[in-house]
Amino acid sequence: MAEVHASTAVPDHAPAEHVEPTFWGFNPGGWVAIAMLAVFALMIWKKVPAAIGAALDKKIDAIRGQLAEAEAIRMEAEALKAEYAAKAADAEKEAAAMVERARQEADALIEKARKDADAVVERRTRMAEEKIAAEERAAVQQLRSAAADAATRAAAMLIADKVDAKTDAALVDSAIKGLGKR
3-state secondary structure 113-166: HHHHHHHHHHHHHHHHHHHHHHHHHHHHHHHHHHHHHHHHHHHHHHHHHHCCHH
- 4 falls within a domain: no
Contacts of residue 23, defined as CB under 8 A and 6 or more positions apart, other chains included, come to 31
Q: What confidence score (pLDDT) does residue 1 get?
A: 46
- 39 falls within a domain: yes
Predicted model pTM = 0.37
- 1 falls within a domain: no
- 5 falls within a domain: no
Tens of pLDDT along 45-86?
Answer: 777 777 788 889 999 999 999 999 999 999 999 999 999 999
| Domain count for the chain | 1
- 71 falls within a domain: yes
- 115 is in which domain, residue-wise? 28-155
CA–CA gap between residue 171 and residue 159 (Å, rounded): 12
| Chain center to CA of 103 | 16
